[in-house]
Structure 1
Amino acid sequence: MHPDPTVLSPSADWWRDAVFYQIYVRSFADGNGDGVGDLAGIRSRLGYLADLGVDALWITPFYPSPMADHGYDVADPRDVEPVFGDLAEFDALLAEAHALGIRVTIDLVPNHSSHHHEWFRAALVAGPGSPERARYLFRDGTGPDGAEPPNNWPSVFGGPAWTRVPDGQWYLHLFAPEQPDLDFTHPEVVADLEETMRFWLDRGVDGFRIDVAHGMAKPDGLPDMVPLENTGLLADHAPGDHRFDHDDVHLMHRRIRSVLDQYPGTMAVGEVWLADDDRLARYIRADELQMAFNFKLLTADWDADALRLAVEHSLATVEGTPAPACWVLSNHDRPRHVTRYGGGERGLRRARAAALLQLALPGAAYLYNGDELGMPDVDLPDEALQDPIWERSGHTERGRDACRIPVPWSGTEPSYGFSSRADTWLPMPEGWGDLTAEAQAADPTSIQWLYRSALALRRSADAFGGEKLEWLPAPDGCLAFRRPDGLVCLVNLSAAAVPLPEGRVLLASADVGDGHLPTDAAVWLTA
């Protein structure tokens, strides 16, 4: 069931300037009333997404999983977790999305499996030196009786990256112990990944987001790494951190690309946490990934210099590669930008401006579900926390649950139309009645209206063409640039209003009726 070319744009590189919408499955919409989002819930909201104006979806893992890391611990990569539905439900979702002109990309999680995967269960039974263990990274320990881990690598989620099994060997898990790392020097592991890709591509998916795309390859001998101050999920995995970005990972991305090339019009974007522009650029060479997330915009402070630097680095990364830039403001691993930018009315005002900045930049853009509603992070009570980081860190890091609260759809009380029940997998706060999609759809001043307007203009206006930008002179504390086909974007991060440049206003994040752009606001203009 491949995309119908009469419905979807036949362009083979549709993704170059697409707006993707990330759906965190558990938190988007609940179709069966158990308090957990699912595929039926996504199907029920496809009309909303089409009206919003997005080009494609990225759906986070919905595969069978014991949910130690909410789906990123995959027990079977070629089926659907019953909590989320079944393969027939996925096929219906895919067909209905395509009929609405929306492409569908899904998460691929190659670096590790679940400890419930049949391979890992077989490895535990088979014992040291067995062919079953060769698919993973089992090693003997060090020190007296092998009682110490094989090396000093830490887990991204806290604690050591090794767990000992009853027969005395240890296995590597860069994330939770329930997520054993696979050994990609083993031909069966590589073949299985390719089989998984073909399984979903044959069903008609339009591409993949590659989880931990800088993982998969480990240095021979698994030597100790240079001790780092920050070894967590969002660390800069620079040389010396042997867990990530080993040169051999590029062999795997060439294999991934060779499969995609057999399915014209499909693509992959990589999650690559690297600060170095040149090393990141290696992942988007002509025979590797079509795109890689550049997280500099997501990690930049609300400051004109910081944001300009983030844009410049992101554009420098793709310069000389076939890939477009790929812009992200929030995702399921980071505090939402409304909260990062100060929270409350100030955070929302800045988030509105940031939306116009992100969507004015050349390349592809990824929105996170709820961005278009201005959702903030939510402070949850300790007993509600579910992220493995909370337990692994000894309750010193609260983890990522605050940015994963279910999306509010309608009504004035939890669960705001997300589910038919009030209690949801993560609790929703009181007082979100004005935040719901339904309330904002009726309010022309809402951030949802701003997103709808911006996406419609981005799709229809000629001014957005070209993959470069030219910086323009701007008042202190402001950013201004022009796209080759005429769009001008001005963002005011200073403490005072600034005069609007000459031109016709296409869209503004705040009232510009007096000829000035207020503080913490952005405007699009054209000649």
Structure 2
Amino acid sequence: MTTVLDSLSHPTFSTEDAAWWRQAVVYQVYPRSFADADGDGLGDIPGITSRVPYLAGLGVDAVWLSPFYPSALADGGYDVADYRDVDPRLGTLEDFDAMVAALHAAGIRVVVDIVPNHTSDLHAWFQEALAAGRGSAARDRFIFREGLGPDGSEPPTDWVSTFGGSAWERVADGQWYLHNFAVEQPDLNWANPEVREDFLTTLRFWSDRGVDGFRIDVAHMLTKDLTEPLPSQAELDSLPRDGRHPMIDRDDVHEVYAEWRQVFDSYDPPRTAVAEAWVDPSRVPLYASAESLGQAFNFDLLEADFDADQFHRIVTANLALAASSGSSTTWVLSNHDVVRHATRYGLARPARGADGRPALKHGNEWLLSGGRQSDVDRVGGLRRARAATLFVLGLPGSAYLYQGEELGLHEVGDIADEDRQDPTFFRSPGVDLGRDGCRVPLPWTREGSSFGFGAAGAHLPQPEWFAAASVQDEEADPASTLTLYRRALALRHELQGPEALTWVETGRADVLRFERPNGWSVVTNFGTEPYALEGEVVLASADAAPGTVLGESTAWLVAPSA
């Protein structure tokens, strides 16, 4: 009998296609909220394996898994206690191998998250550092400093953590360690050769298990210049981020990635990587170059309104950036850190700063105000989300989808305080609701204690309206968002051609049209009045009369010869 592991020897995709990532559709799985096979309320690796037919039917090219490593979940798994194992609550390495085999057999590649800026405070290295004391080799793997004041009881600087509060934490013997994120996430010292070598080992470990690529968490923060005297927070904030900043986006981080690139290129085909790098646009090509990680996330659409001018500007700028590095760009509308785009597009337009950007990023103005579902135009938000999705899937480059967006899921805003898990919420109670609302476990069926997620309920509460957004419900509806995604991904594979785009004048500022080299055209009406057009519509985000694109919708057209 053929087992799932046997399928690794005959994947349905070409192992010789080293450029598969350039225009791939990558589906992000947040493992703890995708599918629960063992019924403990937490999603797991066998749960993902059980849903491979669904992923294959959706038509994605690759799956990106958010961290599945052993973790205390101080930050949703981004506090990693062991980089070369699976959290026992999520499965085993054998389960991981079976999942990779099943995905490969279905023609789906596997990308995993690497979290190199920091470990968990439960990591063996950090526990060793605590026991070893001042001046030890174990402490040099991290960033320890003496405190200020006569007894060292004040932190070394006034630096503020991303999650709030001091970026320093004092240990029992009086020293302080740096944590740019949660207190349970001590920063690694990337000036230490042992740290660098250990991550090369980790990259080889997962590559040897069949992983096709890596997503690099906060790729711009690894290397640091901690030469005394250390600057104040105000001084840090005032310094330009031009490659010489002490903490952010330093040029020398690419020395690390040059070593990683040697590891990636030692495999056939080479392993891929994509940087999560929140940096100035002029700096993105450094991460996306063939000598560094090879591709970088473009997050601009996460901050954009559903607006023709913004979309046109963002697409034009990011295609130019990709061309300058020789890479392809990435398009993202939702992920595990932001308010889902169906909800963002259903909110009133946020206040904008002098630079034209939202005063608060990622829809957080809604979260900061309490995340009331009544504040959301759910119908309009989903209509705009469907239109934006078809626009993005027509673009050259790779598209990253976040689990549940293919169901048209909205953000779950009304989670009781006692049910929340995100450290952002607990570090700012009553101020920021955090990211739990986009991490609620998926609804697979209309009924059941967790809408088919697992037998014992879900680790975050699911709202009643999930029933109508379940996979079971939407599979039976030819007008559902799931059906739209399936048709779009199938057509994308059929129509996708060279990585090029030509803008076409539409005569209206609120309507964008671009053409791809093979006769494929995408028309998005960002306004509310219908737009007349000529051509054969092969797919639309909203039904319309022939020769019409409705307001807030997108149509795909093909030339007669295409």
TM range (shorter): over 0.9
After TM superposition, the score normalised by the length of structure 1 is 0.95
Aligned mate of 1:495, from 514, 528, 532: 528
Offset of residue 142 of structure 1:
2.2
Q: CA deviation at 1:245?
A: 0.8
Q: CA deviation at 1:119?
A: 0.7
The residue aligned with 2:336 is 332
Measured after TM superposition, the shift of residue 225 of structure 1 is: 5.2
Q: Which residue of 1 aligns with 2:502?
A: 470
Q: Partner of 1:523 in structure 2? A: 555
Matching residue of 1:436: 470
- Contact residue 174 and residue 243 of structure 1 kept, 8 A: no
Match of 1:362 in 2: 396
Q: Are positions 1:227 and 2:262 aligned together?
A: no
From 27, 36, 45, the counterpart of 2:51: 45
The CA RMSD measured in Å over matched residues stands at: 1.9
Contact 2:539 2:556 in 1 (8 A): yes
Residue 292 of structure 1: aligned partner = 296
Q: Which residue of 1 aligns with 2:368?
A: none
The question of whether the paired residues in 1 share the 8 Å contact of 2:306 and 2:526 is answered with yes
What letter corresponds to residue 424 of structure 2 in structure 1?
I
2-structure distance, mates of 1:305, 1:323: 25
How far 1:7 sits from its partner (Å)?
A: 2.1
Report runs of 4+ in structure 1 exceeding 6 Å deviation: 228-231, 236-241
Q: Would the aligned equivalents of 1:226 and 1:240 in 2 still touch at CA under 8 Å?
A: no
**Does the Cα contact within 8 Å between 2:289 and 2:295 map onto a contact in 1?**
no
Q: Which moved more, 1:158-167 or 1:41-50?
A: 158-167
Deviation of 1:144 (Å): 3.2
Whole-angstrom CA distance in 2 between matches of 1:411 and 1:211: 35
1:309 alignment counterpart: 313
1:209 to 215, 238, 242: 215
2 CA distance for matches of 1:445 and 1:58? 27
| Equivalent-residue separation in structure 2 for 1:319 and 1:189 (angstroms) | 33
Contact kept in structure 2, 1:237 and 1:273, CA below 8 Å: no
Q: 1:273 aligns with which of 271, 275, 278?
A: 278
3-state SS, counterpart of residue 209 of structure 1:
strand
Assess, with a 3 A threshold, how the Cα gap between structure 1 residues 238 and 426 changes in structure 2: closer, same or farther. farther
1:403-482 equivalences under 5 Å are 403-422=438-457, 424-461=458-495, 464-474=496-506, 475-482=508-515
Structure 1 position 390, deviation (Å): 1.2
Contact 2:12/2:106, CA 8 A, preserved across alignment? yes
Q: Which amino acid aligns with 1:64?
A: P
Q: C-alpha displacement at 1:412, in angstroms?
A: 3.2
Shift of 1:515: 2.1
Q: 2 CA distance for matches of 1:34 and 1:207?
A: 30
Taking a change above 3 Å as real, the CA distance of residues 394 and 229 of structure 1, as seen in their structure-2 partners, is: farther
Q: Whole-Å Cα distance in 2 between the matches of residues 65 and 228 of structure 1? A: 34
Asked if the contact 1:62–1:81 (Cα under 8 Å) also holds between the matched residues in 2, the reply is yes
CA-CA distance at 1:414 after TM superposition: 4.2
Contact 2:10–2:105 (CA<8 Å) still a contact in 1? no
Distance 1:258 1:395, change over 3 A: farther
User: What aligned pairs does 1:81-480 form with structure 2 within 5 A after superposition?
Assistant: 81-221=87-227, 223-224=230-231, 227=234, 242-265=246-269, 266-274=271-279, 276-342=280-346, 343=376, 344-379=378-413, 380-422=415-457, 424-461=458-495, 464-474=496-506, 475-480=508-513
* 2-structure distance, mates of 1:167, 1:183: 20
**Rounded Cα–Cα distance in structure 1 between residues aligned with 2:35 and 2:491:** 27
Letter in 1 for 2:273: A
State how far apart, in whole Å, the 2-side matches of 1:179 and 1:229 are: 21
**More displaced, 58-67 or 240-249?**
240-249
- Specify the alignment match of 2:516 in structure 1: 483
Which piece of structure 1 moves more, 282-291 or 237-246? 237-246
Distance 1:229 1:435, change over 3 A: farther
Q: How many residues align?
A: 518
In 1, Cα distance between the equivalents of 2:333 and 2:257? 25
In structure 1, distance between residues paired with 2:39 and 2:525: 44
1:230 and 1:451 map into 2 onto residues whose CA distance is 42
Overall identity of the aligned pairs, in %: 50
For 1:154, what is the secondary structure of its paired residue? coil
Give 1:229 shift.
12
**Higher mean C-alpha displacement, 147-156 vs 483-492:** 147-156
Q: 1:206 to 1:239 in 2, by over 3 A?
A: closer
Gaps of 5+ in 1: none
1:414-450 deviation per Cα after TM superposition (whole angstroms, max 9, x unaligned): 411011123x111001122210011111111001111
Offset of 1:310 from its aligned partner? 1.5
Segment drifting more, 291-300 vs 142-151: 142-151
Deviation of 1:147 (Å)? 2.3
- Secondary structure of the residue aligned to 1:146 is coil
Please say if residues 226 and 246 of structure 2, whose CA atoms lie closer than 8 Å, have aligned partners that are also in contact.
Answer: no
5+ residue gaps, structure 2, are 347-375
Find the aligned partners of 1:230 and 1:244 in 2 and give their Cα distance.
10
How big is each residue's C-alpha offset from its partner over 1:120-147, in whole Å with a ceiling of 9 and x where there is no partner? 0011111111111000000112233222
Q: Secondary structure at the match of 2:266?
A: coil
Query: Is the CA contact 1:153–1:243 (under 8 Å) kept in the aligned structure 2?
Result: no
Decide whether aligned partners of structure 1 residues 469 and 109 sit closer, same or farther in structure 2, where only a CA change above 3 A counts: same
Cα distance in 2 for residues equivalent to 1:6 and 1:138: 47
Shift of 1:203: 0.8
CA contact (8 A) 1:338 1:374 kept: yes
Q: TM-score, normalization: structure 2? A: 0.89
The structural deviation recorded for 1:313 is 2.1
Deviations 1:295-346 (Å, cap 9, x if unpaired)? Answer: 0012211111111122122112212212101111100000000010004111
Structure 1 residue 370: Cα displacement? 0.3
Q: Is the 8 A contact 1:414 1:429 kept in 2?
A: no
Specify whether residues 228 and 373 from structure 1 end up closer, same or farther in structure 2 by C-alpha distance, changes over 3 A only.
farther
1:6: how far off?
A: 5.0
What amino acid is aligned across from residue 390 of structure 1 in structure 2?
F
Alpha-carbon distance in 1 for matches of 2:334, 2:500: 23
Could you tell me whether the CA contact under 8 Å between 1:390 and 1:396 is conserved in 2? Answer: yes
Q: Assess, with a 3 A threshold, how the Cα gap between structure 1 residues 82 and 237 changes in structure 2: closer, same or farther.
A: farther
Deviations, residues 489-525 of structure 1 (Å, cap 9, x unaligned): 111111211112x221121101122421111100111
**Would you say the 8 A contact 2:163–2:423 is kept in 1?**
yes
1:332 counterpart SS class: coil
CA contact (8 A) 2:338 2:435 kept: yes
Displacement after TM superposition at 1:100 (Å)? 0.7
Shift of 1:53: 0.3
Matched, 1:507 2:539: yes
Kept in 2: contact 1:297–1:329 (CA 8 A): yes
Q: Which of 43, 48, 58 is 2:64 aligned to?
A: 58
